Structure 1
Amino acid sequence: MPALVMNATGCKGRLLTDFTALGLSTKLLDALAGANFTTPTPIQEKAIPLALEGHDIMGLAQTGTGKTMAFGLPLIDTLLSQPGKPLPKTSKALILAPTRELVNQIADNLRVLTDGSRIRVVTVVGGQSINRQINALSRGTDILVATPGRLIDLMDRGAIDLGTVRHLVLDEADQMLDLGFIHALRKIAPALGTPRQTMLFSATMPKQIEELSDAYLTNPQKVQVARPGKAADKITQSIHFLSKPEKPKMLREILSKDLDALTLVFSRTKHGAEKLMKGLVADGYNAASIHGNKSQGQRDRAIKAFREGEITILVATDVAARGIDIPGVAYVINFDLPEVPDNYVHRIGRTARAGRDGEAIAFCSPEETDLLRQIEKLMKIELPVASGTRPSRDAKPAGKPGGGRNRGRSNSQKPKSSEGAPAKKRRRPRNRKAA
């Protein structure tokens, strides 16, 4: 059944101007007041009343719009109204997210709201002690926030029984699909209890998300606050057209203008992020990096230092930065344009959060012209030019950003091994006579 689109009014047609109009429990309202939350965001206005009624939800909203509270508040309110503690090795609710950072971010937000209550929140992610997680699950939990891979590891070890789960949340569902977690979801879903309420939240709506909704949601109510591909209104965007070798110098010029501002710099690859960070540190900039080659502890420490202003420049890859929710980020710089247009929207959504202003700056080399065109087509805008000259529409891209399988390569363009040396040609094994 197709999802229903709801307007921004409550169930009785009354405009929701603050959280008190939602009928939330007094304890939850006190927690909101203590955290200085007074007015729901648009996605919260639309989703919370429907979720409190028990509907399945398919929420579409750009990053930084308050999606965690949109599913977290009704989930916590429902669990507070249910008597009894969770049994050992069980959970009442499950939230799945694609990255460790996002899992931790969600859990931190929920704990602010459940502090002092009987609601227990447990996280399980890769890169941390699985024995410690097994011990945490042995006591049971009300809300389990997990990455799919580690959750399956724990299921295989008999550390968690998901048969009591009556609430499922899929956060950043589009990113989970991009990372190939659909196979994990197919293994997790049959283990969940029924009937259950399922809420799916995504920043974009590709065809696969519609298929996911059809497979796991029942008569979902669709809530949407911005068209896919639209950036937050308070983000000022610009682009610099320059050659690839000119990028490091331009980056330093921009960073030097506001050294105290929190700046998030995106690189396309893990190696590129680390190299860029080390170059900045060598030049005296206060920088750190997060990417897939960093341990979980290293990533957590870098994000904590960035949040607290101990470092002011964080160089990141797309996946590693997915869970960053730091209201103080003033600038997002796309040192490399992403190969997936949707990721541009996610990247720049790291600034202008919680009602603040923000600036997103992109660099575009000739090799990235086609990537830029895809981004502008998705967003239905043309980014303002800060420097350089925009290539004409007739101009062909200079080549793929990461190289490509180009015919007629010279010897200097031959592929290299991971150590940087020219890759050796494999010899065919000689035919051996049978003994």
Structure 2
Amino acid sequence: MPFSSLQLIPDLQRAISERGYSTPTAIQSAAIPVIVGGGDLVACAQTGSGKTAAFCLPLLQRWNQQTPATPRKVSVLILVPTRELATQVGDTLRSLAAFLPKPIKLAVLFGGVSINPQMMHLRGGADMVVATPGRLLDLIAHNALSISSVQTLVLDEADRLLELGFQDELNQLLKLLPAQRQNCLFSATFPEQLSALAQDFLKSPTRIDIAATEITTPEISQRAIVVDTANRTQLLRHLIDSENWDRVLVFAASRYATEVIALKLRKARIAAEPFHGELSQGKRTQVLADFKAQRIRVVVATDVAARGIDIANLPVVVNFDLPRSTDDYVHRIGRTGRAGEAGLAVSFISTGNEAHFRLIEQRQQVKVEREIIAGFEPTEKDVSVSTEDKSNGGIKGKRPSKKDKLRALAAQENKS
């Protein structure tokens, strides 16, 4: 099915062609007609499935059909959980709007930077706003903008908005929005908390579910390598060199871990940088730019900071530490194998997390064969534990404390 079958205006089809899009993805084919038609929508689609364009294209088409207001009034509000995702969505909107007959004023708003330039940019209003909830509330409190004229609300990465503690901010913003509006909710997973939120403010929504059939797509190969905890950094270095990975996104459990791993890789003459929430916005932007330009070979990130990272043709993702939840695993491996490209997701398995990885396999309905790399044979207790094992294994309520983890990690890495 070509994009022309979706009845998008010629100006948008030209922008699509300029971006190299050929045919719409499954989520784009299903979502675009619903949004253009003005209906509410709940879309569950995995990371990398093309969902950003799935809502940007119809929103731009609907906006283009409106009569411009003076001063400009916000008609579209897109809420996202992180700065990086806000930037990504903003870049997509600007690119797709490049050939529209009337210029669009877009405001991309997030914290971690001075609020004053954002307030200046909002003088005279805005047509569309992409924002993180906290900064948006700050700007509303400063009377820098109003959202009382919003016609369409989009929650992107809605599951993450809730996981990162934005429930109260979302409730405050929903009270400031007009009662009559279009609502679109996009998410890679659909936990119970999100279902409750959807029932509160969506009206007879169309439900699109793409994620359930795409997580096991062969474009993302999954590997599980058994290794002692203390030898993970050396194994990572070995794999980067022996398998000639030119770019790798590595996930670690904490800010401290990202710093330690990146430092050890640099000592081994592998260009690497940490990426976590305590970095300045300028530093985070620079790291991503260097990674995209292949001036950096490895980025070591926490789950929160990595939200919204969109790197074209990223070949490899490594779970240095396993994620706390199955949903986080979905988000992590979705950083590779995007837009139909092949990708590889590698997980390091040790005695302490074998049970947890089995739970991940069970929830994802996959089975990943365990590997042992020559020279890195595990010496810790046999990882082939029973599924009935009651050790911590990553199960909630049985884990060591955060401080215990950091002390153990420091001790293990210092031996590396």
Q: Shared topology, TM-score over 0.5? A: yes
Letter of the structure 1 residue corresponding to residue 16 of structure 2:
L
Kindly tell me: are residues 24 and 165 of structure 1, through their superposed partners in 2, closer, same or farther at Cα, counting changes over 3 Å?
Answer: same
Compute the displacement of 1:229 (Å). 8.6
Compute the displacement of 1:394 (Å). 5.0
Alignment RMSD (CA, Å): 2.4
Contact 1:290 1:317 in 2 (8 A): yes
Q: Greater helix percent: which structure?
A: 2
1:178 aligns with 2:171: no
Within-5 A mapping of 1:107-146:
107-117=90-100, 118-146=103-131
Which of structures 1 and 2 has the bigger CA Rg? 1
Correspondence for 1:290 among 265, 271, 275: 275
Partner of 1:69: 53
1:53 aligns with 2:37: yes
Kindly tell me: are residues 414 and 25 of structure 1, through their superposed partners in 2, closer, same or farther at Cα, counting changes over 3 Å?
Answer: closer
SS of 1:127's equivalent in the other structure is coil
Compute the displacement of 1:83 (Å). 1.2
SS of 1:233's equivalent in the other structure is coil
Deviates more, 1:109-118 or 1:97-106: 109-118
Kindly tell me: are residues 284 and 65 of structure 1, through their superposed partners in 2, closer, same or farther at Cα, counting changes over 3 Å?
Answer: same
Contact 2:225 2:347 in 1 (8 A): yes
Contact 2:256 2:406 in 1 (8 A): no
Compute the displacement of 1:25 (Å). 1.1
Mapped partners of 2:404, 2:302: distance in 1: 26
Q: Which structure 1 residue ranges, 4+ long, deviate > 3 Å from structure 2?
A: 394-407, 413-417
1:95 aligns with 2:75: no
Correspondence for 1:378 among 351, 363, 370: 363
Compute the displacement of 1:59 (Å). 0.2
Contact 2:356 2:393 in 1 (8 A): no
SS of 2:340's equivalent in the other structure is coil
Mapped partners of 1:272, 1:404: distance in 2: 22
Mapped partners of 2:395, 2:66: distance in 1: 53
Deviations 1:250-306 (A, max 9, x none): 111111124452111000111101111111111100111210111111111101111
Partner of 1:191: 176
Letter of the structure 1 residue corresponding to residue 45 of structure 2:
A
Kindly tell me: are residues 264 and 397 of structure 1, through their superposed partners in 2, closer, same or farther at Cα, counting changes over 3 Å?
Answer: farther
Kindly tell me: are residues 385 and 165 of structure 1, through their superposed partners in 2, closer, same or farther at Cα, counting changes over 3 Å?
Answer: same
Compute the displacement of 1:87 (Å). 2.5
Deviations 1:314-347 (A, max 9, x none): 1111111110111221000100000111111110
What is the percentage of aligned positions where both structures have the same residue? Answer: 36
Kindly tell me: are residues 31 and 98 of structure 1, through their superposed partners in 2, closer, same or farther at Cα, counting changes over 3 Å?
Answer: same
Compute the displacement of 1:308 (Å). 1.3
Contact 1:97 1:172 in 2 (8 A): yes
Letter of the structure 1 residue corresponding to residue 281 of structure 2:
Q
Correspondence for 1:234 among 176, 199, 219: 219
Contact 1:229 1:379 in 2 (8 A): no
Mapped partners of 1:22, 1:311: distance in 2: 39
Contact 1:127 1:295 in 2 (8 A): yes
Kindly tell me: are residues 231 and 86 of structure 1, through their superposed partners in 2, closer, same or farther at Cα, counting changes over 3 Å?
Answer: farther
Partner of 2:304: 319
Contact 2:354 2:385 in 1 (8 A): no
Gaps of at least 5 residues in structure 2 are 373-377, 411-416
Compute the displacement of 1:177 (Å). 0.8
Compute the displacement of 1:114 (Å). 1.0
Letter of the structure 2 residue corresponding to residue 91 of structure 1:
V
Within-5 A mapping of 1:30-45:
30-45=14-29
Mapped partners of 1:209, 1:403: distance in 2: 20
1:28 aligns with 2:12: yes
